[in-house]
Amino acid sequence: QVQLVESGGGLVQAGGSLRLSCTASGSIFSINRMRWYRQAPGKQRELVAAVITDGGSTTYADSVKGRFTISRDNAKSTLYLQMNSLKPEDTAVYLCNALQRYKDYWGQGTQVTVSS
């Protein structure tokens, strides 16, 4: 069993920055990859960024390339999402996801609101 807890969301003006954190606990061994998703009201959940835990290869949605950076601190079992040059369209609930073998785990989400 894996537990994920997100933090760092809040209200920020357009052009500002925010760093989200996702701390994993429980049976965290053999997690293959971790991802950040986001979901805005009335819209489908979308993949924002992902990282392979072995090797550190990363991928990003086209809408956030050059602005967001996904990273890990393995010693702290924590995943980060550094968000720069934020836009109003980035407003959403951001969710942390971990894939471990055949299981998919989710956090509860943290709200990010970007004002124009």
Tokens found for residue 65:
């390339």
pLDDT digits (tens, 9 = 90+) for 62-105: 999 999 999 999 888 999 999 999 999 999 999 999 999 889 99
Q: What is the C-alpha to C-alpha distance for residues 28 and 14, in angstroms, rounded to an integer?
A: 36
Residue 86 sits at φ, ψ, to 5 deg, of -65, 145
Look up residue 24 and give its amino acid. Answer: A
- Dump pLDDT digits (tens) for 13-48: 999 999 999 999 998 888 889 999 999 999 999 999
Categorize the per-residue pLDDT at 53 as very low, low, confident or very high, splitting at 50, 70 and 90: confident
How far from 69 is each of 51, 59, 66, 83, CA to CA, in Å? 10, 9, 8, 7
Residue 107 pLDDT greater than 90, yes or no? yes
Ramachandran region of residue 77, left (φ > 0), alpha (ψ -120 to 50) or beta?
A: left
